[in-house]
C-alpha cells in the first residue's frame, strides 16, 4: 500500500530557475531564500520518497486561457520541459509513473472529481523549479523520485474555492493510499504566497496574511476554507490565488501533521515566498 510521508511548500517563481542555473545561491539577494532548503534536503535524503506528487499551476505552456482545465493530472511516462525564456536550456525529461497516475485518476473520478488526464504534458517553471529546489542535480541526484504532476487552475476565473482545493486533497489522499504497491509518496504544494505582478497593485505583498495562512494550514486548514475567492485576491493579490495549491497538498496529508521546518522571505521577485515541511503523524 502506498504511504504519504509528508508535504512540502515552496514558491516556484521562474527567477529561481535562473538563479540556480547561474549559481547564485550565496548571492546576498538570494541567500535568505535558498537557506530554507538544506533541512528539507536532509529530510528527503532520510525518507527517500519513491514518487512526488507535484501540485502546480501551468503558466501557458501546457494549457492556455482558451483551454484551462480546473484539475489536470499527468499520466505520462515522462514530462518534458520547454524553453520559457531567460536564455536557459530546457531541463532533461522528468520520469513519470503512468501506472500510479491512472490509479489516482480513477480514484479521483470515483470520488466525483472531474479530471483532465494528460498522456502528454509539457511542464513549465511551476513544476520544474520545485523539482530543482528539492532534488538538486535532478537526474544526477540518486534520490530523485518519479513525478506525477497535478495542474490546478489559478489563472482563468472562476477558479476553485479553497474548500474545493482542500477537498481535492482529501480525495487525493484516499486515491494514493488505495494504491496496492509499496510506494513512499511526498506531496508538493507550490506557488505563492501573496503577490501581484500587474495592474494598479503590482508589487503588492501582504506579510500578515501570509503568516496567518502558514499558521492555520498546519493547525486548522478548515478555517482557511472560509476565505472566499474574492477575499483571497484582495488579501493575497491576483497571483496569490496559488495558495489553493497549498490547500490541495494539505488535504492530502490527513488531520495530523508535524511542522518540521519553515521559512518566509520577501521580496523575491515581488513575491512573499513561503517554504514549509510538514510530516504526517
Tell me which DSSP letter residue 261 carries. E
Which residue from 227, 276, 273, 236 is spatially nearest to 253, judged by alpha carbons?
A: 276
- Does the annotation count 125 as an active-site position? yes
Contact 235, 253 (CB under 8 A): no
Candidate list 157, 195, 230, 265, residue with the active-site label? 195
- Does the annotation count 157 as an active-site position? no
Candidate list 12, 103, 125, 265, residue with the active-site label? 125
Which residues does 55 contact at the CB level (< 8 Å), separation at least 6? 150, 152, 187, 188, 189, 190, 245, 248, 249
Q: What are phi and psi of 64, to 5 degrees?
A: -140, 180
Of the chain, the end-to-end C-alpha distance in Å amounts to 17
Residues forming beta bridges with residue 152, ordered by sequence position: 71
**Residue at grid coordinates 501546457:** 62
Q: Tell me how far apart the alpha carbons of residues 275 and 214 are, in angstroms, rounded to a whole number.
A: 9
Q: What are phi and psi of 16, to 5 degrees?
A: -65, -40
Buried b (16+ CB within 10 A) or exposed e, 48-76: ebbbbbbbbbbbebbbeeeebbbbbbbbb
Q: What are phi and psi of 129, to 5 degrees?
A: -65, -45
Residues forming beta bridges with residue 275, ordered by sequence position: 263
Contact 205, 271 (CB under 8 A): yes
∠ CA(177), CA(166), CA(74), 5° rounding? 60
Active site residues: 125, 195
Amino acid at each position: 500500500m502506498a504511504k504519504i510521508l509528508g508535504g512540502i511548500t515552496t514558491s516556484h517563481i521562474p527567477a529561481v530557475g535562473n538563479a540556480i542555473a547561474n549559481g547564485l545561491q550565496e548571492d546576498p539577494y538570494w541567500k535568505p531564500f535558498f537557506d530554507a532548503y538544506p533541512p528539507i534536503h536532509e529530510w528527503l535524503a532520510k525518507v527517500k520518497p519513491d514518487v512526488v506528487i507535484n501540485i502546480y499551476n501551468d503558466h501557458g505552456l501546457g494549457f492556455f486561457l482558451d483551454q484551462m482545465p480546473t484539475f489536470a493530472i499527468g499520466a505520462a511516462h515522462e514530462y518534458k520541459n520547454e524553453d520559457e525564456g531567460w536564455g536557459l536550456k530546457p531541463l532533461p525529461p522528468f520520469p513519470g509513473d503512468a501506472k500510479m497516475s491512472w490509479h489516482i485518476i480513477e480514484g479521483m473520478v470515483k470520488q466525483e472529481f472531474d479530471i483532465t488526464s494528460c498522456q502528454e504534458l509539457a511542464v513549465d517553471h511551476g513544476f520544474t523549479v520545485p523539482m530543482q529546489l528539492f532534488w538538486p542535480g535532478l537526474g544526477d541526484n540518486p534520490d530523485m523520485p518519479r513525478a506525477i504532476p497535478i495542474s490546478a487552475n489559478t489563472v482563468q476565473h472562476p477558479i476553485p474555492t479553497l474548500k474545493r482545493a482542500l477537498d481535492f486533497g482529501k480525495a487525493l489522499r484516499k486515491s494514493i493510499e488505495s494504491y496496492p504497491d509499496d510506494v513512499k509518496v511526498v506531496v508538493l504544494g507550490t506557488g505563492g504566497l501573496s503577490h501581484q505582478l500587474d495592474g494598479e497593485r503590482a508589487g503588492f505583498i501582504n506579510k500578515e496574511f501570509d503568516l496567518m495562512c502558514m499558521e492555520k494550514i498546519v493547525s486548522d486548514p478548515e478555517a482557511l476554507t472560509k476565505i472566499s475567492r474574492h477575499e483571497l485576491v484582495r488579501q493575497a493579490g491576483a497571483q496569490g490565488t496559488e495558495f489553493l495549491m497549498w490547500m490541495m497538498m494539505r488535504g492530502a496529508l490527513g488531520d495530523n501533521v508535524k511542522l518540521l521546518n519553515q521559512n518566509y522571505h520577501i521580496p523575491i521577485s515581488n513575491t512573499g515566498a513561503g517554504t514549509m515541511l510538514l510530516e504526517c503523524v
